[in-house]
Amino acid sequence: MASWLLGRSSRILIHQHHHLHKKYLPFLLGPFLNHNNSSCSSFPSTEPFRCRDAFPGKNSSPTLFRFSRHESTKAEAQLELEQDVATEDEPNQVIDFPGGKVGFTSEMRFISESPEKRVPCYRVLDDNGEIVKYSNYVQVSKEMGVKMYSDMVTLQTMDNIFYEVQRQGRISFYLTQMGEEAVNIASAAALAPDDIILPQYREPGVLLWRGFTLQQFVHQCFGNTHDFGKGRQMPIHYGSNQHNYFTVSSPIATQLPQAVGAAYSLKMDGKSACAVTFCGDGATSEGDFHAAMNFAAVMEAPVVFICRNNGWAISTPVEDQFRSDGIVVKGKAYGIWSIRVDGNDALAVYSAVHTAREIAIKEKRPVLIEALTYRVGHHSTSDDSTKYRGTDEIEYWKMARNPVNRFKRWVERNGWWSDKDELELRSSVRKQLMHAIQVAEKAQKPPLQDLFNDVYDQIPSNLQEQERLIRKTIEKHPKDYPSDVPL
């Protein structure tokens, strides 16, 4: 078969079983004879031959096809649909409605709102840190494994200390990752530095993996003069241009369609990288989730959507969030590959994200990953989660299902980690954090001018005037303003 037929942007294939009338052959084949394979990597602004040009008569209608399967991963054959909804009518009882051939059935049968059993969850390590039989997972080296574990512990320690710092009123707000350390670190480990990250807010582990220092985290939480964000956002709204980590913003799910646009740009630029965006289960209910998924599929954007399904959106449990079988089943609704992963299993997350990344970049398509996990901590320092869920439930997930402990068992069993290493690491991270907090707390706040900079690239005259006005006010009433903000 001619290779030019395999291009993703060429959605036409002449079905071998349909004999075309001779007079249509030159017209149908013409545009493709000159088709340049290299142009398949760019999205054409105008298709040379639109599949919409259907002609009367069943046998002369072209059929929509798509090839390209990632070699190392089989796409599930959708056995459930083929078995249950296979057309009972004769093979010639198909008609070409817009969108492609569809078989007819004379039986009125509604598709159930959910499958009889839930989509299974990919897992590599069991709760004892043992590799599950028959698991096809991506190998992790010792260096990688140890760094993954160290960063998970670092993240956990950061959370414990920063949470207490907020309770002491030294920072205004904090949000922990407790229970979701594996999703954070393992997904980051599976990515490349060129991959662009668009986070929600519970993914600082990705930034940690990429080299953001503990000191830099603390600067942002304190909103001091060393904060890259110049103290303009609440704590934990981290961002770093250097680490390809888009700055966090509070409105939920807005980053999802932005990630699709970034991915499309990467594709247009011919980069060997993808966009990766994270969201919680609650974010999947926003309209922007719908827009992002659909645009990603239609624009064939190399983007990986990672959904942390931790069971809660503040006080809203998942059964009040959706009635589907979670988020993994939403992939098919948009024409997107999807997989469900044990979010507390670092190796499963690593393998799935690693493979999804390869699929996204090579095949120029979006991939959806639902990582099942549990939010062990409160939603944020403004939340007391015992008001809406039992403490024994929290304790169960904290102790019996802890992702850090599970991974530790695995690295220990490999002989890569020891109790001594553990003590050294925890002690070292704690000291670094204490030091970082002291440094950040003493640093000055950003200058007053930073309230007016960066609204636009250049400061317009009305903003300049407003700055002058506030400076005059401060001159008149200096005692009403904080002394640690330089003028």
Q: Please indicate whether residue 385 is annotated as part of the active site.
A: no
Residue 179 DSSP label: T
Q: Does 205 bind other proteins (CB under 8 A)?
A: no
Q: Please indicate whether residue 250 is annotated as part of the active site.
A: yes
| Piece of the chain touching other proteins by CB under 8 A; list 128-136, 191-199, 232-240, 413-421 | 128-136
Residue 279 β-bridge partners: 307
CA–CA separation, 125 and 44 (whole Å): 44
Q: Which is nearer to other proteins, 227 or 342 (CB)?
A: 342
Other CB atoms within 10 A of residue 395 CB = 11
Q: Does 106 bind other proteins (CB under 8 A)?
A: yes
Other CB atoms within 10 A of residue 134 CB = 5
**What are the φ and ψ backbone dihedral angles of 410, each rounded to 5 degrees?**
-70, -45
| Tokens 């802890």 found at | 402
Q: Does 190 bind other proteins (CB under 8 A)?
A: no
CA–CA separation, 87 and 105 (whole Å): 6
- Among the listed residues 80, 88, 130, 164, the single catalytic one is 164
Nearest to 248 by CA among 272, 273, 212: 212
Of 31, 100, 261, 447, which one interacts with other proteins (CB under 8 A)?
Answer: 100
Of 163, 374, 410, 417, which one interacts with other proteins (CB under 8 A)?
Answer: 374
Of 18, 80, 173, 486, which one interacts with other proteins (CB under 8 A)?
Answer: 80
Identify the H or E element spanning 340: strand 337-342
Interior angle at CA 307, CA 304 and CA 313, nearest 5: 155
CB of 286 to other proteins, least distance (A): 8
Q: Which is nearer to other proteins, 139 or 461 (CB)?
A: 139
Q: Does 387 bind other proteins (CB under 8 A)?
A: yes
CB of 334 to other proteins, least distance (A): 5
Count of residues near other proteins by CB under 8 A: 118
Q: Does 116 bind other proteins (CB under 8 A)?
A: yes
Q: Does 150 bind other proteins (CB under 8 A)?
A: no
CB of 465 to other proteins, least distance (A): 31
Decide if 293 contacts 299 (C-beta within 8 A). Answer: no
| Piece of the chain touching other proteins by CB under 8 A; list 29-37, 74-82, 171-179, 451-459 | 74-82
Q: Does 329 bind other proteins (CB under 8 A)?
A: yes
Q: Please indicate whether residue 428 is annotated as part of the active site.
A: no
Q: How far is CA 481 from the centre of its chain?
A: 42
Binding to other proteins, residues 272-301 (CB under 8 A)? 285-291, 294, 297-298
Binding to other proteins, residues 1-30 (CB under 8 A)? 11
Q: Does 393 bind other proteins (CB under 8 A)?
A: yes
Structure tokens at 157: 């320690």
Sign of CA dihedral 434, 438, 439, 445: positive
Decide if 364 contacts 267 (C-beta within 8 A). Answer: yes
CA–CA separation, 398 and 62 (whole Å): 56
- Among the listed residues 181, 351, 379, 385, the single catalytic one is 379
- Among the listed residues 250, 315, 427, 428, the single catalytic one is 250
CB of 88 to other proteins, least distance (A): 8
List the catalytic residues: 164, 250, 379-380
